Structure formats: structure tokens, C-alpha cells
Chain A
Amino acid sequence: MEPRILIVDDEATLRANLAAFLEDEGMQVVTVSSGEEAIETVDNDPGFQICIMDMRLPGINGQEAIFALHARDPDLLFLIHTGTAGYSMPRELRSIGLRPEHVFKKPMSDMAPVAETIRRMIAWGGYSSND
């Protein structure tokens, strides 16, 4: 079964490129442009395994969206894709299992690590092998 990926990014180019790459990797990708939209999508169509979340978003920000989505579907795993300089992971996100290696900083000149991480997480069924 193809992994289902939700990409949340307000930058159309970025989400399109990432989506294209992941689709080429054989994944089923849905893209949305805001946190609210992501919540709506997940409410209407649950069953996403991985969500790639931008942190700076119009409306609610990435972190709030993550908590909202996590509340609705605790099995949903997140990757963070951010352009914020010096981003460091808050404790709240660590509490749901996120680690710095799950943060990808913009700009990414190579998207292969993202696909790899997704596959590993799906194989593990969590953020790390211990989960």
C-alpha cells in the first residue's frame, strides 16, 4: 500500500516540488496550504500516515496544527519542514516523540533524505525504532 502523505505549506512551489518528488518515490501525496485546511482534510479524509508541516503558516501556525491533528489522529506522524532561522524544537513537540532529526530546514537541495525518513518512520510505525 502506498504511504499517504499530507503536505502543509503555504508556498505552492515548495509543496508542489516536494509532492512531485514523493509521488515519484511512490507515495500518495495530498497538499494543503494552511493548518485549518489540513485539519479539515484530515477530518474529511482520515488515514494519512505522515504529515510534513511548515511552521510558519497563515492562520494557526504549524505547531498548533500539529497538536490539533495529533489530537484527532494520534497515529499520524509529523515531519517539520521550516525556513525559520535557528529553529529549535520546543519541548511540547518532543513530548509527542518528535526529535531534531525530524526537522528539515529550507532550502533543501536534496529531498531524498525526506523520503528515506518517511519510509523508516512507516516501517517503524513511529518516530523512532523504540516507539
Chain B
Amino acid sequence: MAEDRHTTKNAPSDQPATRWYNSLEWRMYLRFTVMLAIMIVGVVWVLLHSGGAILRQSGNRYVEAAGNRLVANALERVAQTEATAYAMARTAEALSADEARLLRVLGETLRSGVERRIIAGGALYLDGPSPRLWTWKRLPDGTLRRMDPAAAGGQGLNAEWRLAVAHLPPGIAYWTVPRMDETTGAVLIACAAPIYRDGECAGAAVCYVDAASMDAQLEHALPVGEGYALILDRRNNPISMPPDVSAALRDRAAQPQSARRPSAADLVQAYPAYQPVFAAAAEVNQDIRTQVKWVMAGNEDLAAALAAANDDAPDQPGQLAMGMALDVLSEETRASKLLGRTTIADDPILKAPAVAAVFHVPRAYWKVVLIVPESLVAAPGARIAARILVTLALVLAVPLIVVLILLRRDLIGPVRHMSRYLMGLTETEGDFLQGMGERAPNELIELANAFNRRTDALRAANAQLRKEIEERVRAEEALRRSEARFRNVLENTRDLLYELNLRTWQYEYISPAALQVTGFSSEELNRLGARQIADRIHPQDRFLVSTHFKRLIAADGDDAAEATSSQVEYRWRDKNGAYLWASENRTIVRDATGAPLALVGSSRDVTERKRSEQEMTRMRHYLQNIINSMPSVIVGVDREGIITLWNLEAARVTGRDAQEAEGKPFDQVFTLLAEVADKVFDAIRSGEPLESERFVMENRDGELHYHDVIVYPLVANEVEGAVIRVDDVTGRVQIEEMMVQTEKMMSVGGLAAGMAHEINNPLGGILQACQNIERRTSPQLPKNRAVAEEAGTTIEAVREYIERRGVLEFLHGIRADGARAAKIVADMLAFSRRSESHFAPCRLDDMVETVLRLAANDYDLKKHYDFRRISIRREYGPNLPEVRCDKTKIEQVLLNLIKNAAQAIAEEEKDVTPEITIHIERDGRYVRIEVADNGPGMDEDTRRRVFEPFYTTKEVGVGTGLGLSVSYFIITKQHRGAMSVESARGQGARFIIRLPIDPER
């Protein structure tokens, strides 16, 4: 939607001005000229720079080669001299005991060296309490003579080496500066090697080198006219120079002491032109000193000693000397090397400008100075360069010019002709070949022909184009209409459509529906920008949306269709600040490489839908809650009996949760229902609700439970199936049973009350009649005797008769049965009486004790079994409260229970000791009394009926069948307590009574 703000205003295409220098011809001339110039400049530059460098290097190489040769010569001499000195030192070490022999051997060694012109003499210095010095000198006749030992400290040439050697390790020699031998006048340089005995320096072996002997070597070192060389000692004083040079120097200097070698200062004084040479040599020394300074520390005494040992004793030679003495300088310094280079403006010997190069001679620390005429180094290079330059210029320039001329004739001319013709050409037919000229090259003629053909083709194409343009105009019109249609759709659709550029994060387009959906107009949204729009997403949905977006971006595109385009629903804060639910379809537009370009989305306000969805969800949860809160098992099934609903109670009862149950046949999951499966299907088929009451099922613990099963068929809205409701009514059934029991008793009570009078009267008659019969047949009553006599018999006879005929027993029977009947009536009457007048607080344990005493003396009990055989266990809990009750009634109940227990035990002879356990404990607001026996117990049927009136297991005449029901009545009705029994066949019975501590409360 962001408009392209970079609308470029194309400047009206000006006709390029036809200036003369713009012509092909002139451009060609110009470029050729420039090219030529660049070439020449390039060649000159190359020659001047790299070429010069190359030439100079070749000169240097010449100088270096000559220098290295000279250094090698010098080094060879140094090495030979050092070798001789080492040999002498080893000999002195070996022959320390025999001094005479040592001197002889050393003499031989030196003689051999002198004869080979390597050395010019030698010396042996032995240190000790009386140091001695022997010296061998070469005499002018060439023989070697040994001087007698000088006194210690005597000058053997000079003692410079003596101190240095003391610090040198074996195998290192020390070179001194040149000295003139007073005896022979020769200038000698000493090379001293230390002699070690028992690890300590014991002296030195010395060889002398004659400086003059090196002059001859230098004379022929270089060809005549190609320069000369000097050798300088470590203090830069000349050791050796070619004889012609020294002669010239001598002439020039006109020194009074001709024997003395000229010093550096002399030389410079004589020829100031040498100044730079010695300056360069001094620089070399400076470098060495710089390095030596690093090892100065700790050896300052040595440095000072060495400085003192040098006769002219300046500081610098001292340091140099130490450097040599310690031999610390690096290999680099000790290597033969071109160390410095300088020029001499006007060499005094060569009489021309010269180049001077300073080389280093290792070990002796000499310097070889090579002076070569400059012409020999630089001149040949310059000459060659000039020659190359001219040749190159010619070789490059001539072909260039020729090419230029040919090009002008063969190409530019015809092209110019053709262009003139083309310029003048109108739309009328023409021929490019006209005026082309005979010498036009084939290519141009072909070109002209091609132009001709092309012109014809163009004319045809022109016509074709015109036709096509007309068609295109029509097509564009159609396209415009179509686009307008689409735009119309876009603008009018209720969905918010947008395109977000993913590179700039700017919206390219936002449809006008934005106003309706968000309250913001398209322009306002555009101004808000992607960032703020994203910020308006509900915080809880942000993660969802961003995750969704990242997944979209990450999706490969060819992965799956849904990956590049998918739906996301989120809440968005609209202009009013209210959250709306947006359902958005997002598509990522990608470029050819798959990189995301834009996000295209269509967003719909689904707030209404969401709200109703939420309402529905809430409603569903509500209903689910209701269903789950039901104490009934509620199971929904479809018409095939597959479970579709399974509430919590169902899960609790079956032990299977909804996930497990749903989707399975109900009779498989809820096996208890398998028996009613047919009824369920009947209900579904018939559409009639179906009830199945008091359905007895055994639960998981094996207890029998009563269930009401109700099947409601579902008929509404094409939902077929049924809802099965299962209620566990065991508790209710039990209560109902109890109520029935009580009602039975109450009716018995009511009946008895009505009947009692009517039965008691005849019973009274029967019983009283019996008593009268007994009395009136008794001999004790005087009236009987009188009446008997009146009747003509005696009372004794009557009595005897009655007794003989068993009439008395019959009478006893009548009386006993009458009494029994009277008891039944009295018991029945107990059900109707409800007087609480006798209620008083009593201790139950006391009452139990009373009852136990009663039982022990009970006539009926005694008749059948010995109560004392039974062991009574008393379990009386602590803190038993007094219970407000009718003492007589409760005692009646307890006696009844205990007698029952005793009778039950007596029924069966067992190995186990008969035992009655009486347990009393407080149980909240109640007191719990349990009477348990270990008798045969009772089966389930008996247990259920045991409180029923007239139900008895005793033989006829033994019990009335009312004892337990009366007890039950007394406890539950009169005392508002509870009474139950636990028993199973073979496990004894346990009667449990719960009496409220205060029945009024």
C-alpha cells in the first residue's frame, strides 16, 4: 500500500549534440594518441625505476663478489693463524712438565708457519708465581730466533692479549691491534690462544701476523683500473693496502716517520675524499659496540682492564676488544658481509668518482674496504637503458600509426557514408549500397544488404505492430475492468486484507475493511506500523502468533501446502481498546530462492464466533460438571452400545476412567451392566424409558449391592442412543428394610395392645381353672375331703386316680403353655409401650455385670448349659460415660443378647473354648456395646431376618422369636440408638448396639 515515492521524472531525451570531437574518427585519433603516450611513458618509467634497480644490482653484485673474495682471503689467513696458535696452546698444555722440550717443539711449529709465510713469529707466555715470556722473531734474513724469557710483565710486542686471554675459554683466540716490532720494524698483529692447566688459564700461545705480508695479496686482488682494496683493523686503522696506494699515500702525506703505518686520521687528512669511507667504517663499529653493550653488565672490570691495556686507551676500542674477548657477537656479525656502502666524489687513487664498500672479516674484526670506480658499477646500465627505450618506442609507434591509417580508410569512410545516407533517408524505399564505393569491405556490403533486408522486414513488422497495439489496447481495457472488479472485491470484502513487506516491514496494502474490523482506517494502521500493530496483540497470544510466524517463515515452501499458508487466531486490541478475536490466514510470498518477501494475510473478526464458542465451552463444562457431580453412574451410549459419555461416578465404580471407557461397548467396560444389555437395546429401539429396580450386583469387593438402573433413550436431534443411569441404592434398601422391620414390630405392638385383653381373659380363665383343679383335688383342703365323702369316695382316692392317670401333668402342661402364651402377649405388648418415665443415667459396665450375674443363675440357661463353662472377655474402654436409659429395658436387651450367645455356643460342641466378648467403648455422642461369641455364626439369610418378629432358629417352644426384635425395638425406638449384627456362617456373631449418651439431645 505504500506508494512508490521514488517516481523518477525521466528527463525528455535530448538529441545528443553532434560535436566534431564526438565523431568516430576523432575519437579514434585521440585514443590512439593517448595509447601511444601511455606506452612511451610506461617504457620510460619501467626503465628508470625497476630497470635502474636491476642495473644497480648487477653493479652491486660485482662489488660483492670482489669483496667476498677478498674477505675469504683474509679469513683464510686468520684461520691459519688461529689454528697455529691453538696448536701451540694444546702443545703447551700437553708438555707442561718438560719446558725445554716444549720450547723446542713450539720453535719447530713456529718455524714451519713462518716458512709457509703464514705467520711472522710467535710467543709463549706462562703465568704463575714468576711469569715468563718467550718470543720467537723472524729476522730480516728470514730465520726465526727465540728470544730469552723476558721478565714477567715484559713487553712482548705489547701485553694487550695477556689480560684478554685470561678470560677466554679454550678454543677461542684473541686478536690484538697492530704493533710495530721495535726489533725488526715489522708491523705485527698478535693472535693469542689461552693455555689451560687443571681448568685454569695458565698462559697463552701467541702467533704474529705481518701486516706487510698482506699487502702483496691486495695488490692483485682487482684488475688494474677496476679499483683497489684496503684492510682496516678493528679501530679502523689501515693494516694493509696495495703497495701503489701506500706509495701514493706516503708521497702525499710526506710523513717524517715513514716506517709507521698511516692511521685512519692520517689517511683522511691526506685525502679528505676518504672521509665517508671511514665514517661508514665507524658506523659499523658503532653497530658492534651497540651489541656489545648488552653484555657489558657484569664484565665492566674486564672492559676497564682492556681499555687500560690499550695504549691509546679510548673507551670504544676497549669495548670492541671485550666483544672479541668474550666472543659474544652473533653469527650474523661474525659472518662475512657487506656492512656499509658509500661513494667517494673523487678518489685520489683512481682519479674518478668511486663507490666504496665496507666488508667485515669475522673473528679478527677487521674490515675490508673495496673502492671501485663508479663508471664500472653504473655506466653500462644507463647506456643499455637508452638503447632499449628508443627501440621500444619505434616498435610500438609505427604499427599503431599504420593501423590507424588503414582503419580510417576501410571502416570509418564507409560507415560515415552509410550514416549520412541513413540520416538523409526518408521512409521511402532506398538502397544502402548506393555510393558505398568500390573499396568498401565485404562486411560493410553485407551490413548494407542486411540493412536493406531489415528495412523491408521492419516495414512489414510495423504494420503488424500497429495491429497488435490495437489488440493490446483492447486487452488492457479488459484487464483494467478485471482489476477494477478485483479491487472492488478487495475494498468491499468484510475481511481485512493486507500485505506486509518482510524486507522493509512496511505495509504495502491494507484493505479498507480495516475500519470496520479494527476501528482504525487503513491509513491509521499504516501509520501505526507493524511494530505497534503487533504490540496490540493480547499478551497471552503473542507467543502463539510469533511462533506461528516463525514456523511459517521457517517452512520450506515445498514442504507442505499448509506450511506456507496457515491459520492463526488471536486477540487484538482495537481502537476502542476492546479485544477482538481475529482469525487470520497468513501466507508467505517468497522469491525464487525461497527467501520470504512478503506476508499476505486476510484477517476476519471472529469475536462473535469465539464468544459463542466460549459460551459453548463454558456450557459444556457446566454440563460436564453437573454430570460428573451426580452421585449416580451416568453412561451415554450410541445405538450400537458404544460408550459416548462416562461420568466420574462411573469411573469410580468401575475403576476405569473416561479415556479408557469411551469408544468401547458398555457391556464390556461396565460388566455389571452386561445383564441389562438387552434392556438397554430394547429401550433404544422402542424409544421408551426403561427402569430396572433393585438390581442386585456384586461389587468389586464382593459385597452385594442393590442398584436401580434406568435407561433413557435419546431421541432428540437425530441423536440415537441412550443414557444409562445406575444408582447404588443399597443404603436406601437397607434403611427401607429396617423401616419395614420396625413397622412390622409396630403393627405387632398395635395388634398386641388390642388383642392383649381379649387373650388375657381366656388365658386367665385357663390358668385360674388349672389352679382351682389342682387345689380342689388336693387332700390338704378340708372342704375337698368333705365333698369327696359326700360323693362317696375319699379325696385320697381321687388324688391317687388323678396322679395315676397323669392328669396332674396335663394340668402342668396347660399351665406352662398358658404362661408361655401370656409371655408372648406381654412381649408383643412391649412393642407398643413407649414410656420414658424410667430414663435415668446408668453405667453400662455395671449393667453388664448385673446381667452376667443374672445369666449365671438363669433357670433356663442352667437347664441346657453351664454358663460358667463359658469364658467371658470384658473389654471396657476408658472414660465410659453414664448413659441416660431405661435400665430395666437395657438390661433385658443385654441379657437377651448374652443368653442368645450362650445358646448359640451350646449348639455346637467345638474344640475351641467357648467365649463371649463384651466390648464397651465411647463412640462420639454414643456408647458402643458389642456382644460377640465364637459360636457357629449365621448365614446371610438368617442374618438379614434376625431382628424380624417371630423369626427364630430355635426349636419350637424354646424361643418366642421376639427376643431380638424386642431388643431391636428397645434400642432403636425407645432409646434412639442403633443395633446391627455382623456374622457369617462359622465365624461367630457380633451384635453391635450404639446408645446415645443422652437420647433427648
The contact string, 1 if C-beta is below 8 Å from chain A, for chain B 832-862, is 1101000000000000000000000000000
Number of A-B contacts defined by CB within 8 Å: 84
User: Interface segment, B117-125, B604-612, B630-638, B755-763?
Assistant: B755-763
**Which residues of chain A (68-118) have a CB below 8 Å from chain B?**
83-86, 105-111
Residues of B within 8 A of A20 (CB): 772, 776
A85 and B781 in contact (CB under 8 A), knowing A21-B771, A107-B766?
no
Query: Could you say which interface size class chain A belongs to?
Result: 20 to 34
Q: Give chain B residues whose Cβ lies under 8 Å from the Cβ of A105.
A: 760
- Tell me, in angstroms, the Cα distance from A106 to B762 when the chains sit together: 9
Is A17 positioned at the interface, with any CB of B under 8 Å from its CB? yes
B757 touches A85 (CB 8 A): yes
How far does the alpha carbon of A86 sit from the alpha carbon of B753 in the complex, in Å? Answer: 8
Nearest neighbor of A114 in chain B, beta-carbon distance: B768
B813 close to A (CB within 8 Å): no
Evaluate whether A24 and B783 lie within 8 angstroms (CB atoms) in the complex, with A107-B763, A109-B819 already known: yes
Contact partner of A109 (CB less than 8 A), chosen from B752, B767, B825, is B767
Interface residue total, chain B, C-beta cutoff 8 A: 33
Whether, in the assembled complex, A39 has its beta carbon less than 8 Å from a beta carbon of chain B, the answer is no
Additional A-B contact list (18), CB under 8 Å, known A17-B769, A83-B764, A109-B771? A14-B761, A17-B768, A17-B772, A56-B757, A83-B759, A84-B757, A85-B757, A85-B760, A86-B753, A86-B832, A105-B760, A106-B760, A106-B763, A106-B764, A107-B761, A107-B765, A110-B771, A111-B768
- The reply on B815 being an interface residue by CB < 8 A is yes
* B756 x A85 contact (CB < 8 A): yes
- Measured in the bound complex, the distance between the Cα atoms of B827 and A85 in whole Å is 11
> B756 near A108 (CB under 8 angstroms)?
no
Most chain-B Cβ atoms within 10 A of its Cβ — which of A83, A84, A108?
A83
Our pick among A18, A85, A86, A106 for the contact of B761 (Cβ within 8 Å) is: A106
The 0/1 profile, CB within 8 Å of A marked 1, for residues 588-602 of chain B is 000000000000000
Going nearest first, the 10 A-B pairs with the smallest beta carbon separation are A13-B765, A83-B760, A107-B764, A17-B768, A107-B763, A85-B756, A106-B764, A106-B760, A85-B829, A83-B757
Contact assessment for A11 and B764 in the assembled complex, using a CB-CB cutoff below 8 Å: yes
Cβ–Cβ < 8 Å partners of B775 in chain A: 21, 24
Q: How far is the CB of B834 from chain A (nearest CB, A)?
A: 10
- CA gap between A11 and B770 in the complex, in Å: 16
Q: Give the complex CA separation of A85 and B756 in angstroms.
A: 6
Alpha-carbon separation in the docked complex, A108 to B822 (Å) = 9
B818 within 8 A of partner (CB): yes
- The CA of A90 and the CA of B756, in the complex, are separated in Å by 20
Taking CB as reference atom, which chain B residue is nearest A109?
Answer: B767
What is the predominant secondary structure among interface residues of chain B facing chain A? helix
A78 CB to closest chain B CB (Å) equals 18
Within 8 A of B (CB), among A111-127: 111
Within 8 A of B (CB), among A31-61: 56
Residues of chain B within 8 A (CB-CB) of A109 are 767, 770-771, 815, 818-819, 822
Mask, B564-604, CB within 8 Å of A = 1, is: 00000000000000000000000000000000000000000
Across the interface, do A83 and B767 meet the contact criterion of CB distance under 8 Å? no
- Most A CB within 10 A of own CB, among B759, B763, B772, B818: B772
Q: What 0/1 pattern do residues 260 to 299 of B give for CB contact below 8 A with A?
A: 0000000000000000000000000000000000000000
User: Which A residues are CB-close (under 8 A) to B768?
Assistant: 13-14, 17-18, 21, 107-108, 111
Give Cα A2 to B763, complex, Å: 29
Which of B762, B770, B815 has the most chain A CB within a 10 Å cutoff? B762
A107 contacts B760, C-beta separation under 8 Å: yes
Q: Which chain B residue has the least Cβ–Cβ distance from A18?
A: B768
Chain A residues proximal to chain B, CB less than 8 Å:
11, 13-14, 17-18, 20-21, 24, 56, 83-86, 105-111
Q: In the complex, which residue of chain B has the Cβ closest to the Cβ of A84?
A: B757
13 pairs, CB–CB < 8 Å, chain A vs chain B: A14-B764, A17-B772, A20-B772, A20-B776, A84-B756, A85-B829, A85-B833, A86-B829, A86-B832, A108-B764, A108-B768, A109-B767, A110-B771
- How many angstroms between the C-alpha atoms of A83 and B753 in the bound complex? 10
Choose among A14, A24, A85, A106 the residue with the greatest number of B CB atoms under 10 Å from its CB. Answer: A85
What's the least CB distance linking B622 to chain A, in Å?
Answer: 59
In the complex, residue of chain A having the shortest beta-carbon distance to the beta carbon of B819 = A109
Q: Min CB distance, B811 to chain A, in Å? A: 12
Shortest A131–chain B CB gap in Å is 27
> Which residues of A are found within 8 Å of B763, using beta-carbon distances?
106-107
Q: Which chain B residues in 46-101 approach chain A with CB under 8 Å? A: none
Measured between beta carbons, the chain B residues less than 8 angstroms from A24 are 772, 775-776, 781, 783
Q: Name the A residues within 8 Å of B829 (CB-CB).
A: 85-86
Q: A105 to B760, alpha carbons, bound, how many Å?
A: 9
Residue among B753, B761, B762, B825 having the largest count of chain A Cβ atoms under 10 Å = B761
Interface residues of B in 720-766 (CB under 8 A from A): 752-753, 756-766
Contact indicator B765/A17 (Cβ below 8 Å)? yes
Q: Is there contact, CB below 8 Å, between B772 and A85?
A: no
Residue ID in chain B nearest A12 by CB atoms = B765
Which residue of B is nearest A104, CB measured?
Answer: B764
Residues from chain B with a CB closer than 8 A to the CB of A11 are 761-762, 764-765
List chain A residues, Cβ under 8 A from B760: 83, 85, 105-107
Contact B767 A107 (CB under 8 A): yes
Alpha-carbon distance A24/B762, docked complex (angstroms): 22
Give the complex CA separation of A6 and B818 in angstroms: 26
| Residues of A contacting B822 in the complex (Cβ-Cβ under 8 angstroms) | 107, 109
Shortest C-beta distance, A55 to chain B (Å), equals: 9
B771 x A85 contact (CB < 8 A): no
A106 to B755, CA, bound (A): 13
Chain A residues closer than 8 Å to B766, beta-carbon distance? 107
**Min CB–CB distance B820 → chain A (angstroms):** 11
Which residues of B sit under 8 angstroms from A83, Cβ to Cβ? 756-761, 764
Contacts of B757 in A (CB 8 A): 56, 83-85, 106
CB-CB under 8 A from B764, the residues of chain A are 11, 14, 17, 83, 106-108
